[in-house]
Chain A
């Protein structure tokens, strides 16, 4: 299997608060990995370290064979290979839907206007938002915003999609539409790393589930194994708490 991202001995502290401790794991090409764990266990921090929104305190992040924590590595170029979807959507408030999906292609990838537009429309169609190209973010519902945010990330044609609790800020009736889009992306063979509290969804889409607790990876494996027959006491406890 081709490794896309490999994390070795990753550490992260805020001051003297150790949030990640010796985290090791790999995302392979075409794989869907779900990261679960209780609040404060460090899932977001791990995801943010991967695209360097947080600077790791130690360890290595290997992307396609290169350690991107090397000083000479081009961070901005690396980030274009990762599509990030935030819990709070973070659409650019000053741009409409179409422009949100174009600005990165134009300014970072230096694509032509026409190419950027076609690509943006293609992915807006994928997420079912192609009819709303003129809308400003504040005119959209949460679920619509999140679907546009997914299209914005996809429009950069990233190699890996990172999702940080993409449905946690949504009203319950909008969770479904976002999960549906994500399911479709998973079926199409996209490489995805998803932080989620949606256990049912995680069980269905993931090739592998990673359970984190207090900054360490406790257990990982296929969904049936981790969710149905967890080996670890801490995993069992977490599942008992969340699944009831």
Chain B
């Protein structure tokens, strides 16, 4: 393994590497967002208070059962297998699914299954008093969720979402099995052509590391921003300013 070889691989293949990294990032970011939204939806559905035995509550129970089945399936099977089943499963019905879309569906559904639990935890960990105070000033369940509960849940699940993003950057490598041209798949082609496996993959390794490192720093920054300044401004009274 030599430095010159690495340089020459880079010289020849840098556009491919960058395109691969771009695809990896794109898949990771989009599917993390989709997954977070799915998780949010499931988390909210699972925490709607059930009143009495009404038609509504029966429908809700059925929906929640289906959602639970989905979560269990996606958490209980490897993503690499899910990718095969989704892609070739749909192909078997005669639809040629766009590989990029298939990738986002698989990673997004996978992330959603994990996020659901974090969101549910994030909602139930909010103090009962927050709901009561909102109710007491006449807010409905939906308003309470939007204006009081979910903003706090967002903050609570931000670290978990960040972790998912980093996992997705790395784990999207398994999508190479359905020939999605993300970073790992791209590297496979490069190394397959130049037979310099060690050097080609070392470059890839560093690229993954840079992406995950930068992502985690950005997320840390966002968390800090959301927490706001620690100090607050005490407004000056007019009279005081005059002296």
Most buried by A among B134, B138, B232: B138
- A186–B135 Cα distance when bound, in Å, is 25
B134-150: which have CB < 8 Å to A?
134-140, 143, 147-148
Indicate whether A131 sits within 8 Å of B234 (C-beta atoms), given known contacts A94-B151, A136-B228.
yes
Interface residues in B146-192 by Cβ distance below 8 A to A read 147-148, 151-152, 155
- A90 to B135: give the CA distance in the assembly, Å: 11
The yes or no answer to A153 lying at the interface (CB within 8 A) is yes
B-contact 0/1 string along A97-114, CB 8 Å cutoff: 000000110011100000
Q: Given the complex of chains A and B, what is the CA–CA distance between A91 and B137 in angstroms? A: 12
Q: Are A94 and B132 in contact (CB under 8 A)?
A: no
What's the A-B contact tally at a CB cutoff of 8 Å? 78
Once A53-B136, A86-B133 are accepted as A-B contacts, the answer to whether A108 and B143 lie under 8 Å apart by CB is yes
Distance A86 CA – B129 CA, assembled complex (angstroms)? 8
Q: Are B133 and A131 in contact (CB under 8 A)?
A: no
In the assembled complex, A11 has its CB within 8 A of some CB on chain B: no
A84 within 8 Å of B (CB atoms): yes
Q: A90-B130, A93-B130, A133-B235 are in contact. Are A80 and B137 (CB under 8 A)?
A: yes
Q: Does B56 interact with chain A (Cβ within 8 Å)?
A: no
**B237 interface residue, CB < 8 Å from A?**
yes
| Cβ-defined contact, B232 with A92, below 8 A | no
Bound CA span A134–B230, Å: 11
Of A51, A86, A94, the residue contacting B148 (CB under 8 A) is A94
Please encode chain B, from 59 to 98, with 1 for each CB lying within 8 Å of some chain A CB and 0 for all others: 0000000000000000000000000000000000000000
Of residues B130, B137, B138, B140, which shows the largest number of chain A Cβ atoms within 10 Å of its Cβ?
B137
Separation of A96 and B234 alpha carbons in the complex (Å): 12
Shortest CB-to-CB span from B40 to chain A, Å, is 16
**Distance of A123 Cα from B143 Cα, bound (Å):** 24
Cβ A132 vs Cβ B232 within 8 A: yes
Q: List residues of chain A with CB within 8 A of the CB of B136.
A: 51, 53, 79, 82, 84, 86, 153
A156 touches B (CB below 8 Å): yes
Q: Give the docked Cα–Cα distance between A73 and B140 (Å).
A: 15
Evaluate contact between B143 and A134: CB separation under 8 angstroms: no
> Given that A88-B129, A133-B235 are contacting pairs, would A153 and B137 also be in contact in the complex, using a CB cutoff of 8 Å?
yes
Chain A residue contacts of B147, Cβ below 8 A: 92, 103, 107
B232 near A80 with CB under 8 A, answer no
Rounded to whole angstroms, the CA-CA distance of A132 and B233 in the bound complex is: 7
Q: List the A residue with the shortest CB-CB distance to B153.
A: A94
Contacts of B152 in A (CB 8 A): 93-94
Which residues of chain B (168-222) have a CB below 8 Å from chain A? none
Name the contact of B234 in the complex, choosing from A51, A103, A132 (C-beta under 8 A). Answer: A132
Contacts of A51 in B (CB 8 A): 136
Contact of A135 among B134, B232, B237 (CB under 8 A): B232
Interchain residue pairs with CB less than 8 A apart (14): A76-B138, A76-B140, A77-B138, A80-B137, A90-B133, A103-B147, A107-B143, A108-B138, A108-B139, A131-B234, A131-B237, A136-B228, A139-B232, A156-B137
Known A-B contacts: A88-B129, A156-B138. Give 4 more (CB < 8 A): A107-B139, A131-B234, A131-B235, A134-B233
4 smallest beta-carbon distances between A and B, as pairs: A90-B129, A104-B137, A90-B133, A84-B136
Interface residues of B (CB under 8 A from A): 127, 129-130, 132-140, 143, 147-148, 151-152, 155, 228, 230, 232-235, 237
Q: Which residues of A contact B (CB under 8 A)?
A: 51, 53, 76-77, 79-80, 82, 84, 86, 88-94, 96, 103-104, 107-109, 130-136, 139, 149, 152-153, 156
